[in-house]
A = this chain, B = another copy of it.
Amino acid sequence: MAHGQAIIERIRRVSAGIQRLELAVEPAQQIIGGGQFFLVRTTGTYDPYLREAWLPVGLRDGAVIVERPTRYEYAPNQVIDVLGPIGKPFPLRDSTRALLLIAYEATPAIFLLMAQSALARRAAVTLVLIGQACRYPLEALPSAFEVTRAEYHETWHERQQQIAWADQIFAVAPPPYDVPAYLRLLEDVQRIRHAMSADLLYGIFQPPMPCGVGACQACLVRLHNGEEVPACVDGIAFDLTRVNLLQNLPDSTGV
């Protein structure tokens, strides 16, 4: 975890909607694992006030490659303000030979760094894209991925086999759809895998993060043991059997 300035060294468009930026970051920020990310300010003002989350998708010679939508404009040599890496690396087990990654309505970019490690260890990686995630461009993914697409969780027809096959499963969905999506997935996994081992199923929790260091208490995730832990420090992936999903459902208290 460090706070420093980075330079955007290269900008490459990988599809109509996606660009990848090569960032020259501080040395302490070059050590980043899959699942960790940066909180970034690009403006010289306090508008917007909070930082943006930038997702690393690769590493090259000390530079970190992040993925951003093309609707944002960046310039080579632009200096940005970078906080991170935020959170813990995804707990990918050495023994995992079959890795199942699921993106519900979200970019699967957060998985790419971890998936590279898994592929390097000769694991098989299956990526399931659901809803809008289907439109993520194939050319931005490693060719070794097996990719499955579905419009809804319910129309993901291979889910019985794919869930049965996996050694580890990671799912991402954006708030406020994360909890409903994980509830359905957890139910399926419990049904299909009867005796669920710990470390089998992880969900990604991505509330807005004002501080990124566990100080502001704005990103707490409620666990079954009564603890409330900051996603920015203990996450962003949580073993879904440990999370009290129902207590993490948003309420609707008004004014």
Contacts and interface: CB of A to CB of B under 8 A. Distances in A.
Contacts of A45: 47
> Would you call the interface of chain A mostly helix, strand, loop, or mixed?
loop
A75 to B, nearest CB: 10
Nearest to A47: B47
Contacts of A47: 45-47
Interface residues of A, number: 3
A157 B166 CA distance: 90
Contacts of A46: 47
Nearest to A45: B47
Interface string A127-163: 0000000000000000000000000000000000000
Interface string A16-57: 000000000000000000000000000001110000000000
A57 B46 CA distance: 33
Nearest to A48: B45
A72 to B, nearest CB: 13
A135 to B, nearest CB: 26
A119 to B, nearest CB: 41
A113 B229 CA distance: 65
